[in-house]
Amino acid sequence: MSKHDLNEAKPEQTGPFWKRQVSSIIEAQITRFPLLVQLRTVWHQLQGEREIWPYLIPLLVIVFLGSYRTERKKLRVQSKEDLS
């Protein structure tokens, strides 16, 4: 790390005072809900992979559908067993 990196202000630390306060409040509210923290993390990761979105998004859809169908199949089998 260079000196320049250490002295560089983060984006949320710059700007008017009220914007920093609003940003802090939003961050505090987001951290109260673990799902929102995870969604925000995934969103930031996707932003970093923007150049490969045409390949990544269809892959994610395929994985999601496969997982969803597998879980639904397990639930159907389990509910049939419960009825028997």
The predicted-structure confidence for 19-78, as pLDDT tens digits, reads as follows: 999 988 988 888 888 888 888 888 888 888 889 989 988 999 999 999 999 999 999 999
- Count CA atoms closer than 13 A to 11's CA, side-chain side: 1
Residues 66 and 36 in one domain: no
Residue 8 near residue 19 (C-beta atoms within 8 A): no
Question: What is the C-alpha separation between 19 and 28, in angstroms, rounded?
Answer: 14
CA distance linking residue 30 with residue 44, whole number of Å: 14
Residues 44 and 65 in one domain: no
Which pLDDT belongs to residue 3?
A: 46
Q: Are residues 6 and 42 in the same domain?
A: yes
How many independent structural domains does the chain possess?
2
**Angle subtended by helix axes 17-31 and 34-48, to nearest 10:** 120
Same domain, 33 and 59: no
* 59 and 82 share one domain: yes
If asked whether residues 29 and 60 sit together in one domain, one would say no
The model scores a pTM over 0.85: no
- Which residues form the domain of 15? 1-48
